[in-house]
Structure 1
């Protein structure tokens, strides 16, 4: 960052409160040396630089005992906005984000700078080749977790892995069927105890080597070696036979009609056997990983991708801490959010209901009142889905009685009274002890929801303490919280999403249950993979009834997700977890406007012919 800006901020913060422009402030060189943490000699050098920049006006004191005078000629807001535009204009996004995070930047100023930053996000074209380089920059307000298919459990990281890697088959939600992926064909025996996959030829990994059946076998072995939390799904595999470089046979201990689901999920993203994915994320997907650090993740289009090469050449995902909103930003330059730029290229938002819901989990690993069934019933009455949606609104679109919206729509809601809840609270043996509810501090709606529940609890004497967390790990959570407010977003393959939610050892739900509860759920699902689809759905409903009827979880609301984008973005296809599929995005810039075109009433159009 420019040292002149840093020095200017230090001086204004220490000497000019409240801020006044062009009014001399009496100072001494010794005072300035203390503020700037430097020698008196360096103070004079710094002041000369600031005066050359037009930031200040300096009047040295004449004679012994006379103080010098310093006037600030420009406002902090003006200096910071100008410097941010200079940084982002040069592509120095990291330095721009650091500028916004300075202690002197807060409130309305921070919001204004964030808005300026977003104008430099979105689509850019760089003339690095004859055709130019199309880049899309996206902001996120949560640091990314480790990228590893074996252990991934968060939606955004799963989405990124799907851009870097490929699976043997892909699930198509529209037709509820499977399509070829890295395998162009597959077959099973009549008993569904053996599967053969036929791999495409000529598929390259990002590091150049061709895909073979050994990569598939080693990917499966890796799940075992790393004690993957999803191993439960693959427990019946008894033998893997390589029948050449492009054919692999997998034998099972018992029938499995759900097997293709297991090979289309992100955990079975095929990895190269000769590369450690943790240190070098390499796959066969449409994008290769160009850079990955705590500030930014950069994806570059893979020219040798076996399917259709992405139209965007590069995607940059920047971490902007505590952004203040959770919408995904796909902003284009020279446009205002939510406004038309006059040329027919207005920004707008895409809303789509997420498959899943927001809900509350009980921490059964911690001693407390949440172990009492009547107390959990009280919480169910207070955290009432229909009341929640009607009173708070926002992105909460419908009350939830299941992770699946179509099941929730069957519920007939009746609002319980506070008198009923208070009576039940006394019957539970509650003695006024503090109950801790944890929620994600970065999610504004979770804070709003937690405060709403706290107020409702106070009406019947429930002492609910709110504990916002940022990147709290599960070990700390188990020690601190009795309840956890969370969101679950399911994959398009909702059957896989549901079964994986129940048995995946890495998610919070599994971690917060006692072993006896886990055993009870698994007993319900023991025959899940052996039975046809209709029977599988029935088993999932029974497992969900178990956790709902016992109030192990309290459903809240189904959510509406939103992506902010420009109307010049085309190829808008929602992928898994509700994220836009960046491998299919492209930008239509339209015809350049001319005087002649304007005379004939011509303008940019979003129509594709």
Structure 2
């Protein structure tokens, strides 16, 4: 409440005065501190006396000095204020108050412990109706829930709850199943795809899905994100026809054997034309899909999803999901009171906590790597210097610095040697620093500073690369580029790029994306060769043959030291034994529709 904030303003102004001690101040000084009139200042101080937060002994005349005695501690009131804001779902305001208590670490710790207790599963009973709510923290900012504009994993997961595609992947990520389309067929040339839509599927605004929405959604992608994720797929659509409300024919300019896989991604989610066209910017604020949950609102960092009762695959067991974005929160906020959470993604646990929770290690993982900008004139144009720097990146030291139970060295985007080395694949023993310095000198490297570009989310990874390279005499400058701009021309000013790829059921799509991106900073001969190889992959129906072709590309890039592997991180999802119905989707996230609690 406001009166509490006024008291905290006074305590900050007289922070040197202890509780129980007194300080003199004129009424004019107090009015200026509280940014109000003399009359309102008097009312505020009397109210604070009633709350027994302070004692005030006024003296007549504006120039005379009144006596203030503080009784209530600022920490307790600050904590109460932050808690009240959380109950009002003003999470960002609460965090701002707590972070303002820089001299009082106890306030931050106590707030973190209290906030952890607000997460997890809750039931609210009103009359005979029980409302089941799942509330969980997300240490990211949600910039958009428009399938055409998402960039981050948290956004991607929420889009999966709000939208559907024509098809979907099975739980193992091995085959594609019907979804909004109940059936499809392809002609002999494998360029004409015909999809038959389910009848009676409703958007969150109550309108029935039609084939024109599918056509519009794919056309919208080409318009809004021509160079976005998997943009080469929808750029290859030559034409689309909708002979009736439940049929759509899509003709590709060329055969593409991963086209169906693309339609199973949330980038290809179907959106309603009327909602998107209704008003500029409206869809960004209120995205409308056909998914199991609909967006009920988002304010002050809290995103609220409500179960969509008419969902064509059955209503979710949960009634509401609240996602509290905690961009400014420290990592420790995510784990102090594990018993208060029911679901956690990629959280490291103590040995004791691991015994109490069930953990699922996903088949998917992230793999971090470096690619070289071969078009830039500089030291890295020399393959021998690239090779020496590859050796200078001591993976064993990197893993020590990372120190995670899900981190291991990676040498490939494919786990074809995993069975032989279950503890992780390793290259040959690291070359000594002295030997690397000799190799660098012989190759002509004279200590020039090299620019390593990456996105802000990978800044800590880049710092580790800089640290291990410095030990070998390689100077690196880190340059951060926003994720939405990383595919642009600004990255081509760097010597090399640090990025990551998700190795999941859409691995083939992601690898084609990566290699097409790498073509932008390749020499012409390699560009043309890679183009031919990618075309062979997209024309190959046999998955094993496609894998062999991918491995061929990978080995060529590794031999040229244009692609430098670093490490990979397995995904883990932990859940409390009270959680039932766990089923996992891409990126190791739980599908909210399926879970329920005992």
Coarse TM-score class (shorter-chain normalised): 0.7 to 0.9
> Is the Cα contact below 8 Å between 1:151 and 1:228 reproduced in 2?
no
Q: How does 1:90-101 map to 2 (within 5 A)?
A: 91-101=89-99
Q: How does 1:425-440 map to 2 (within 5 A)?
A: 425-437=440-452
Query: What is the aligned partner in structure 2 of residue 213 from structure 1?
Result: 211
Query: What is the aligned partner in structure 2 of residue 500 from structure 1?
Result: 513
Give 1:523's match in structure 2, choosing from 532, 538, 545. Answer: 532
**Cα distance in 2 between the residues matched to 1:215 and 1:5:** 52
Cα displacement (A) at 1:352: 4.3
Cα displacement (A) at 1:555: 2.1
Greater alpha carbon shift after TM alignment, 225-234 vs 314-323: 225-234
Describe the superposition over 1:479-514 as per-residue Cα deviations: whole angstroms up to 9, x where unpaired: 9865554433244232233223333x6xxx677768
Give 1:291's match in structure 2, choosing from 281, 292, 297. Answer: 297
Query: What is the aligned partner in structure 2 of residue 598 from structure 1?
Result: none
Query: What is the aligned partner in structure 1 of residue 148 from structure 2?
Result: 150
Query: What is the aligned partner in structure 1 of residue 435 from structure 2?
Result: 420
Query: What is the aligned partner in structure 2 of residue 248 from structure 1?
Result: 248
Determine if the alignment matches structure 1 residue 454 to structure 2 residue 484: no
Cα displacement (A) at 1:201: 1.4
SS of residue in 2 equivalent to 1:274: helix
How does the TM-score come out when normalised to structure 2? 0.83
Total equivalences in the alignment:
577
Determine if the alignment matches structure 1 residue 355 to structure 2 residue 365: yes
> Is the Cα contact below 8 Å between 1:339 and 1:346 reproduced in 2?
no
Counterparts in 2 of 1:223 and 1:347: CA distance versus 1, 3 Å: same
Counterparts in 2 of 1:485 and 1:91: CA distance versus 1, 3 Å: same
Gaps of 5+ in 2: 419-423
**Cα distance in 2 between the residues matched to 1:565 and 1:54:** 45
> Is the Cα contact below 8 Å between 2:373 and 2:497 reproduced in 1?
yes
**Cα distance in 1 between the residues matched to 2:590 and 2:97:** 29
SS of residue in 2 equivalent to 1:179: strand
Cα displacement (A) at 1:583: 1.8
> Is the Cα contact below 8 Å between 2:343 and 2:576 reproduced in 1?
no
**Cα distance in 1 between the residues matched to 2:343 and 2:211:** 50
Determine if the alignment matches structure 1 residue 264 to structure 2 residue 276: no
Counterparts in 2 of 1:565 and 1:24: CA distance versus 1, 3 Å: farther
Cα displacement (A) at 1:305: 0.8
**Cα distance in 2 between the residues matched to 1:494 and 1:251:** 24
SS of residue in 1 equivalent to 2:447: coil
**Cα distance in 1 between the residues matched to 2:520 and 2:43:** 59
SS of residue in 1 equivalent to 2:310: coil
Counterparts in 2 of 1:397 and 1:484: CA distance versus 1, 3 Å: same
Counterparts in 2 of 1:44 and 1:103: CA distance versus 1, 3 Å: same
Describe the superposition over 1:94-116 as per-residue Cα deviations: whole angstroms up to 9, x where unpaired: 54344334465775533432332
How does the TM-score come out when normalised to structure 1? 0.82
Cα displacement (A) at 1:4: 2.9
Q: How does 1:522-601 map to 2 (within 5 A)?
A: 522-531=531-540, 532-563=542-573, 565-588=575-598
Greater alpha carbon shift after TM alignment, 66-75 vs 530-539: 66-75
Cα displacement (A) at 1:551: 3.3
Gaps of 5+ in 1: 589-609
Cα displacement (A) at 1:399: 0.3
Query: What is the aligned partner in structure 1 of residue 421 from structure 2?
Result: none
Cα displacement (A) at 1:306: 0.7
Q: Higher helix proportion, which one?
A: 2
**Cα distance in 2 between the residues matched to 1:223 and 1:211:** 18
> Is the Cα contact below 8 Å between 1:204 and 1:211 reproduced in 2?
yes
RMSD over equivalenced CA pairs, Å: 3.9
> Is the Cα contact below 8 Å between 2:364 and 2:504 reproduced in 1?
no
